[in-house]
Amino acid sequence: MKPWFQMMADETIRQLESEAVRGLSSAEAAGRLAEHGYNELTEKEQESLWQKFLAQFKNVLVLILVAASGISVLIGEAVDSLVIIAIVILNAVLGVFQESRAERALAALKKMNAAASKVIRDGAIVVIPARELVPGDIALLDAGDYVPADMRILESVNLKIEEASLTGESVPVDKDSREFAGDIPLAERHNMAFMGTIVTYGRGRGIVVATAMQTEIGKIAGMLHSVAQELTPLQKKLAEFGKILAMLCLGVCTVVFGIGIYHGYFNDGILALAEIQDMLMVSISLAVAAIPEGLPAIVAMVLAFGMQRMAKKNAIVKKLHTVETLGSVSVICTDKTGTLTQNQMMVAQIFIFTNMFTVSGYGYKPEGKFLTGEKPVRIDEEEELALLLQASLLCNDAELRQSPADQTWSVVGDPTEGALLVAAAKGGYRKDALSAQYPRIQEFPFDSGRKMMTTFHQADGKILAFSKGAPDILLSRCTRTAASGTIRPLTNSDKEAIRAANQEMASQALRVLAVAYRDFDQAPDLSNPDGTEKDLIMIGLVGMIDPPRSEAKLAVEICRQAGIRTTMITGDHPETAFAIAKYLGIAGDGQGVITGRMLDTMPAEELRQQVRRASVFARVSPEHKLAIVDALQTSGFITAMTGDGVNDAPALKKADIGVAMGITGTDVAKATADMVITDDNFATIVSAVEEGRVIYANIRKFVYFLLSCNTAEVVVIFFAMLLGWPVPLLPTQLLWVNLVTDGFPALALGLEKKEPNVMRLKPRDPAEPLLTGNMRLLIGIQSLVMSITVLFAFQYGLMASNGNLAIAHTFAFITLMATQIICAYAARSERYSVFQLGVFSNRYLNMGVALSFLLMLLSVYGPLQEVFKTVRPELKDWLILGALAPIPFIAAELTKFGSRLFFKTPK
């Protein structure tokens, strides 16, 4: 058998191989080892050893129990032996089932997180999982994408790829389709794109030459080790608690065995082998039943199932610990476009100096009119308007498509560019026809530094350049204007008119772009944007609106009630940002907007003060996002941050929960984030926070029920031995109770629905212990009352039967099982009564309880009666036992009521 460290090494290799297939870069893999590997591995090894110790120790106990059962066979008690062995096997099967369900659930989640790639199939661009790429595929690359496979570049436009993860080159490498002869070092293969590297600029396409483990990163992956999957903080808390509880259980069981031997010796002065064996089997059975070594695995299953429920609600959680952190989020930093709004930009107004045109229509459907006031205008009579629409169409990388199935319209690409396409289509212009008339020969793609985009087109012996971008940036590069059919110098009054129109549009929550052009008699210098994008001719402004999502306003209000602040962080104009924030309830009249320029000069201490009050940050860069997150965390907030771009990755990684957009998000953002919102909807984030709170609460319910039941079993045996009574429960009965009650009802608590007002509670403190004071009180009272009730039933059985142990054992057995089954309903909430929740609202619990009661009756009346050595109670006995069974449940419900009444527990 391999040593444990060798098995861990083998597992890390397999882990890295699977990560290589998903696109993990070699530097990420090596960095994990270099930066974290040793310390994390040591900590995990220690945690793993503790878990293995407990599991193996329990296995040893089980083996002893089986061996003792074998001795029973030799002395003529074969039935007891076979029953014990059968129950042990059932427990093992249940454990394997739980672990396999958790593993399958996690595997399904990993499939949801698979990277995607854009390829050309059957002449059309389609998106497929990266794992489905094969050599020979033509794949497309855009800024922000991970390269999904090793590719030979066929076509490129200002394509630059960050290859530091593979070659160590710190500067992005220019890529093109030139051929090279001879054996070229990896870092100098400029016509190749390698799997796991990042496209930082431009776009291109290439043919796939290698995938998965045949890629350069795959070859490296075969030689490296990765760290094993780490436990979540909650699992670590449970594992630590489990260790303490297991040691206590083992100690108590040892004392029970010692006391039993003591009483047996001093009662008659003679200890028979059978007496020692009986006490040994009782003690070991109690230990096997009480040690909660499976808690972390069961919690993982509950977390995984919860993550699957969240995925159905468009929130894909990539890491288990994210679910726990969701319940602690105290501030959500969200983008505006597409998250708080519909992400279907529509051109609402167009300004061309003295004329303000209104555009009718809705969404991406290319139907609408251009109006001045209430009067429609003809495009062929408005020269500058026609020029602006054509320029917007040509300086554009988006595509407008109509679905053959349902005839709906959609945009492939940036929503802002999509709105321009739709506006041009309303004016009668189509991209394919206009692009054929004015073919694009070069471009300067949009980037966050220049805040503009320019394309160059061949036109009747000349080269036309069309530019669009932020009005203030474009205006600073314009020296002329097109107005009334002529081109004239741009005057100061013209600039003031443009600024005034920009301000008016922005105050109406419109996103404003400026459009300009320039013609060249000869080819311009296409290697220098700053030298070429100047002396432009201003055409006009385009005002677009992205309507707020109808559900976003309610989601913001839910956050407010839950004690969660909502902060808008956007690159849009301050007026636009504030108008949307005010409408949604994020900002009030008295609040201002913090801009990127203000952040550039703001001291760190002032920033920490501002983030406590400010709700809107506008005109910010990704670097500002990082500073805001850091200031919030320093101020004690648990922060969720949304992002979609390459440059958002540092802020996503820094935040307590990084949330990437599934539709507009780049591969880099999705890979960095802890959670991906597939519909880019703010309400989905709020729903995920709510689900995270529900999952954590359900885990606590499960732990509360399990610990109160196991503690009661230990206390019953311990106090009976301490008082010199006979053992109230036989080993087979102990094991059967543990199997029946710790199984179906307990697992059903992990599927409990959300409690009322779960989003009216304050965010959970991450430092809060798993067992809070209120929970410890509930466990203590319930387990104590349960123990007293069972001991009372045992003594009642002895007195009613003149010392008949079989009857007393039966009464204790029935009472313990019934009280635990009924107490499952009390564990459904730490605050609310089961009657407030609805007794039958958890159908899984109802089914589990019904099955448990059926098994209890079978153990008394059915063929299992002989197995567990029970006696059929009379009717009067059932009435007494029926009266005893709900007492612990009533005690727990009264404790909850007292906590709400006297200690003001949250309602």
The answer to whether the pTM exceeds 0.95 is no
**Per-residue pLDDT, 169:** 58
Distance, in Å, from the CA atom of 595 to the CA atom of 598, rounded to the nearest integer, reads 5
Distance, in Å, from the CA atom of 508 to the CA atom of 512, rounded to the nearest integer, reads 11
CA distances, 325 to each of 234, 287, 768, 772, 828 (Å):
10, 34, 12, 17, 22
Q: Which residues pair with 772 in a beta bridge?
A: none
Provide the CB-side half-sphere exposure for 500 (13 A, CA).
Answer: 11
**Per-residue pLDDT, 80:** 47
Pairing of strands 150-162, 192-193: antiparallel
Q: Cα dihedral angle (515, 518, 524, 526), rounded to 10 degrees?
A: 0
**Per-residue pLDDT, 235:** 59
Q: Which residues pair with 594 in a beta bridge?
A: 617
CA torsion through residues 567, 568, 574, 577, sign = negative
Which string of DSSP letters, residue by residue, matches 157-175?
A: EEEEEE-HHHH---SPEE-
Q: Is 823 helix (H, G, I), strand (E, B) or coil?
A: helix
E strand or H helix that includes residue 108 = helix 78-112
Q: Which residues pair with 141 in a beta bridge?
A: 204
Catalytic residue, from 142, 278, 335, 667: name it. Answer: 335
Tell me the domains of the chain and their CATH numbers: 1-49+88-230 (2.70.150.10), 232-312+688-902 (1.20.1110.10), 325-340+549-680 (3.40.50.1000), 346-541 (3.40.1110.10)
CA distances, 744 to each of 484, 566, 652, 741 (Å):
80, 40, 40, 7
DSSP-H helix ranges across 751-863: 773-800, 805-826, 834-837, 843-861
Which string of DSSP letters, residue by residue, matches 584-637?
A: HTSS-TT---EEHHHHHT--HHHHHHHHHH--EEES--HHHHHHHHHHHHHTT-
Q: Is 829 helix (H, G, I), strand (E, B) or coil?
A: coil
Q: Does residue 335 have an active-site annotation? A: yes
Distance, in Å, from the CA atom of 674 to the CA atom of 820, rounded to the nearest integer, reads 38
E strand or H helix that includes residue 503 = helix 492-507
Distance, in Å, from the CA atom of 873 to the CA atom of 860, rounded to the nearest integer, reads 8
**Of 442, 441, 468, 417, which Cα lies nearest the Cα of 158?**
442
pLDDT tens for each residue of 415-459: 788 899 999 999 999 999 999 999 999 888 887 678 899 999 998
**Per-residue pLDDT, 38:** 28
**Per-residue pLDDT, 395:** 94
**Per-residue pLDDT, 282:** 66
What beta strand segments (E) does 422-521 contain? 440-444, 452-459, 462-469, 478-483, 486-489, 511-520
CA distances, 449 to each of 171, 515, 620, 661 (Å):
17, 18, 12, 22
**Per-residue pLDDT, 298:** 65
Q: Is 502 helix (H, G, I), strand (E, B) or coil?
A: helix
CB 650 within 8 A of CB 285: no
- The token duo for 284 is 């070991």
Look up residue 496 and give its amino acid.
E
All residue ranges of the chain with pLDDT < 70 are: 1-115, 164-171, 181-182, 219-246, 249, 252-253, 256, 260, 262-298, 300-301, 320, 343, 448, 645-647, 666-668, 742-743, 902-907
- The token duo for 621 is 């860069």
- 4-22 and 38-74 helices, crossing angle to 10°: 120
